[in-house]
């Protein structure tokens, strides 16, 4: 049984470095949210976190640095990052509990379905999925900006965006689960017919 090895050029790219940096940002962001003492720095780091999701994809496409490692790593960084930030925001009383529950449970359900159906590929990112990510990435830092004196309206707007993003996350999860199940059935039908 041969194991696919990634070449150095496949994983050592600028977009992958940006993705790894995004994941590393979770440590100071989570810490700052828990201590709740530096809302400006926390909001800035959350904004950078959200922007890097767009930056790594732009660089990968613009400079032809799309890689298999990046295709695997980027969605993992997105899902883990959003889930961690949402859970910590809920724990710090920035967001209602149901937002974190819906994000985490949707992701766990999708991962389980993916494994149960032994999907060969993850579903391509849909427009709805992109909209969901953009809304969440805007809502999470806005919620924190609302902790800055004088910017309290940001918290209201941020919670509204995060709520909409959580609802879109569940809907997107259902569409992805359906796509995984459909692909699995199609693969089984093809194997039977050959």
The CATH number that applies at residue 183 is 1.20.120.1760
The answer as to whether 114 is a domain residue is: yes
The answer as to whether 37 is a domain residue is: yes
Q: For residues 188 and 151, is the Cβ–Cβ distance under 8 A?
A: no
- Joined together, the tokens standing for residue 35 give 């201590």
Nearest to 88 by CA among 138, 129, 140, 165: 140
53, 78, 93, 97: the catalytic one is: 78
Distance CA 90, CA 99 (A): 8
Helices (H), the chain: 8-11, 14-35, 39-62, 68-91, 97-116, 127-145, 153-193
The answer as to whether 51 is a domain residue is: yes
Query: Residue 57: what pLDDT?
Result: 84
Distance CA 88, CA 107 (A): 16
The answer as to whether 2 is a domain residue is: no
Query: Residue 187: what pLDDT?
Result: 67
Average pLDDT per consecutive 10 residues, the chain (194 residues; last block may be shorter):
50 88 93 89 92 87 84 86 92 93 94 80 83 92 91 94 97 92 74 64
The answer as to whether 138 is a domain residue is: yes
Number of domains in the chain: 1
Q: For the packed helices 153-193 and 127-145, what is the interaxial angle rounded to 10 degrees?
A: 150
Give how far the C-alpha of residue 112 lies from the chain's centroid of Cα atoms, to the nearest Å. Answer: 17
78 belongs to the catalytic site: yes
Query: Residue 83: what pLDDT?
Result: 92
Query: Residue 2: what pLDDT?
Result: 40
Q: Which domain holds residue 34?
A: 8-193
Query: Residue 119: what pLDDT?
Result: 66
Query: Residue 193: what pLDDT?
Result: 65
Query: Residue 131: what pLDDT?
Result: 94
């Amino acid at each position: 049984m041969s194991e696919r090895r990634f070449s150095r050029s496949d994983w050592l790219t600028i977009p992958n470095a940006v993705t790894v940096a995004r994941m590393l940002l979770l440590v100071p962001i989570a810490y700052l949210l828990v201590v709740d003492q530096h809302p400006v720095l926390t909001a800035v780091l959350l904004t950078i976190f959200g922007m890097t999701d767009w930056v790594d994809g732009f660089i990968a496409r613009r400079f032809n640095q799309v890689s298999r490692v990046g295709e695997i790593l980027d969605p993992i960084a997105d899902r883990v990052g959003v889930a961690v930030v949402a859970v910590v925001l809920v724990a710090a009383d920035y967001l209602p509990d149901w937002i974190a529950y819906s994000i985490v449970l949707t992701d766990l359900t999708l991962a389980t379905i993916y494994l149960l159906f032994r999907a060969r590929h993850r579903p391509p990112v849909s427009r709805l999925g992109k909209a969901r990510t953009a809304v969440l990435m805007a809502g999470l830092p806005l919620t924190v900006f609302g902790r800055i004196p004088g910017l309290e309206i940001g918290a209201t707007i941020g919670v509204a965006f995060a709520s909409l993003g959580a609802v879109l996350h569940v809907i997107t999860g259902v569409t992805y689960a359906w796509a995984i199940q459909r692909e699995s059935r199609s693969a089984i039908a093809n194997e039977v017919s050959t």
